[in-house]
Amino acid sequence: MTTKIDAYSAAAASGQTGAVRPANTAPHGGSSGGSVQRVDSVKLTPDAMQLHDLEKTIASVPVTNRERVAQVRQSIAGGTYKIDPKAVASKLTRMEWDLARTS
């Protein structure tokens, strides 16, 4: 299971806290009437920061390997592309097996 972090900031990455306001203060500036002054804060764990960095790295990696696509196109055009029917059947069977297990 993954969690997408949409509102990630540089301040959070550096370990600084954000969205700090006294706990007894209402969101629109009013007071809840208590005399205790508490402060709420949020600090991201190193794991959360690492996860965000990994998500950014993965997002920058191209989905296709252009070099491999060019090689396969050249092989097909030249008539030298070889298909291994056993490998295709094995991979199809494995995919069907995986799909059946997750359903």
- Residue pLDDT, tens place only, 33-51: 567 888 899 888 999 999 9
CB atoms within 10 A of CB 43: 10
What percent of the chain is predicted at pLDDT more than 90?
48
For residue 24, pLDDT beyond 80:
no
Average pLDDT, the chain: 79
Nearest to 20 by CA among 47, 40, 1, 45: 40
User: 38 and 61 in contact (C-beta within 8 Å)?
Assistant: no
Label residue 64 exposed, middle or buried (CB < 10 Å: 0-12, 13-18, 19+). Answer: exposed
